[in-house]
Amino acid sequence: MRRLLLALLLMTQPLHALERFAVVVGNNLGDRRDTPLRYAEDDAVRMAEALTSVGGFPFENVIVMRSPDAGAMRQAILGLNERLRALSGPGTSDSMLLVYYSGHGDAGALHLGETPLPLIELERMVRSSPARFRVLVSDACRSGTLTRSKGGRPAPPVALQSDGLGSVEGTVILTASAAGEDAQESDALQGSFFTHHLVSGLLGAADDDDDGEVTLSEAYRYAHDQTLRDSSATLQGTQHPAFRYDVRGSGDVVWTRVREGRGRGRLVLPQGLETLVFTEGNGGRAIAELRRGEQRGALLLREGSYFVRARAPRLLFEGTVRVAAGATTTVDTANMRRFDYARLSRKGAGPGSETWGIALAGWMRTGITGPAPCSGGSLSASFVSGALTLRPTIAGCQEQMQAALSAHTQELNASLALDYSVDLPWQFVGHIGPELGIAYLQQQVSGQSSRSGDRNLAGPTVGVALGLDWEGPWGIALGVTGFARTYVLPVESPDRVAAVSALFTQGAALSLQKWF
């Protein structure tokens, strides 16, 4: 990456100085052995929108192709090269050509349906363009499920190789993955990791020096780092974007300008927070994100409403903002809803949001041997994923009865509950669910009855619980729970014949919980 940055810092071109042209291609279908993709064509549309709105690419200079075959893509590139030659006349034109592809590929060719486009031919067409500066972006490879590798079968690595042409001024090639790796797409992002982060960077997330311009080196560095981070948590494994370049000149090339754009406004994001911006509604598509450390950043977005989620070390902030064209909107966390991360997990906020906690509780149930209640304490753990909580618990209590017979009962039980949780206003969470367990009771009975003595009983329990928790700061929660529980225990009849009896009880618990 250092070599790329040093080389790109040798070329200076203002955004308006280069007339810009692009061929943007997406194809969800490969050959008969490739698993169809979901988002390659959408990736191409998003890239084209970024180029025309903030990248200085006129609409008439951008060719967008969805599901073309290899012949159509080849003709589009060659036709644009002929147009550049006609416009420039003798010598090298003061122009930029960008070719972007998202879809299937292998070590030798792109797979546009059943028609291959050899990589060596693609590179030759780009390098031979009369444009002064040329960029080839390839987001292609193989397959997966929730996070899928692009394509459908193991194959040799994708590697753009030279055909023996000499050094050509102003050519940069970016690939979504290194040789031997898969380029992955994600259902959560509704797009590929690399293109999602590249477009996010072009909209402003990659503007490291906050000068309102995103250069080629800034965009690549941002897409590289964020793709590395996100793909490292997938089953497929870490994806390393790669580059090849051959440039001469001075300075860096501005790819997008994020202080101006057709029909767009600036959204200034909170300082020191990792922030994601979605299309309107919590279920919307993630369109951009910013991971900037302590520095405040901004995105240039199309006019409309957006759902914003910002992550602090212990809290999550969520809210909806309206972006107006030509205006600047600042996201203020004071006007957003705030959640503890346990609450975030229950909201199903995506991979990595699972959490767990431990709780101490005092509890009481109605008596089994008499009217006196059984009171004691419990220790439980909670494992939360989305709206469901799995809660194993160990508890104990004791009850006493004084009458003609004196009975002292001690209980030890273990249970497993599965709760469904619902977020309520004012940091309250309601939960309801069944529980199964096993109980061991030791009874000491004394009196004038000849049947007085000690008994040990054991049997299963089944119940249901309904609770309400209040989640305070620092991951602390206070809760109250009511439950109904049935004990299935052996009981002796008056003639000393053992039988199984179902004993119904009800009770309540007060708990103090810590989430991690």
Report DSSP letters for 296-311, one per residue: --EEEEESEEEEEEEE
Q: What is the pLDDT of residues 251-305, one digit of tens each?
A: 567 888 887 666 788 888 888 788 888 887 555 777 777 776 555 678 888 888 8
Q: What is the mean pLDDT of the chain?
A: 77
- The mean per-residue pLDDT over the stretch 456-470 comes to 89
> Six-digit token pair at 215?
């250069």
Q: What is the pLDDT of residues 109-143, one digit of tens each?
A: 888 888 999 888 998 899 889 888 899 998 886 43
Cross-strand partners of 89: none
- What was the pLDDT predicted at 347? 41
Q: Name the pLDDT band for 492 (thresholds 50, 70, 90).
A: low
In the CATH hierarchy, which fold is given to the domain comprising 2-253? Answer: Rossmann fold (3.40.50)
pTM of this structure: 0.60
Return the pLDDT at 281: 59
Alpha helix (H) residue ranges in 309-357: 341-346
> How far is residue 244's CA from residue 394's CA, in Å, rounded to a whole number?
60
Mean pLDDT of the 383-398 span: 85
Residue 87 has pLDDT above 70, yes or no: yes
Which uninterrupted H or E stretch holds 73?
A: helix 70-88
Tens of pLDDT, residue by residue over 18-37, are 689 999 999 998 878 878 88
pLDDT value at position 203? 87
Single out the residue of 367, 364, 362 nearest to residue 379, CA to CA: 362
Q: Is 355-515 a CATH 3.40.1160.10 domain?
A: no
- Cβ density class 292-320: b for 16+ within 10 Å, e for less: beeeebbbbbbeeebbbbbbeeebbbbbe
**Percent of the chain scored above 70 by pLDDT?**
74
pLDDT the model gives residue 453: 62
Rounded-to-integer distance, Cα 359 and Cα 361, Å: 6
13 has a pLDDT exceeding 80: no
- SS3 (DSSP) at 189: coil
Mean pLDDT in residue range 208-229: 83
Closest of 138, 147, 115 to residue 34, by C-alpha: 115
User: pLDDT digit string (tens) for 280-291?
Assistant: 755 577 777 777
Tens-place pLDDT, residues 309-323: 888 776 778 888 999
Where along the chain do its domains lie? 2-253, 265-335, 355-515
CATH of 265-335, picked from 3.30.2000.10, 3.90.1150.10, 3.30.300.280, 2.60.40.10, is: 2.60.40.10
Q: What is the pLDDT of residue 204?
A: 87
Q: What is the pLDDT of residues 338-349, one digit of tens each?
A: 766 555 444 444
Most confident of 187-191, 329-333, 370-374: 329-333
156-165 burial code (b ≥16 CB/10 A, e <16): eebebeeeee
pLDDT at 91: 45
Q: For residue range 164-181, what is the model confidence (pLDDT) as tens digits?
A: 333 335 788 888 866 666
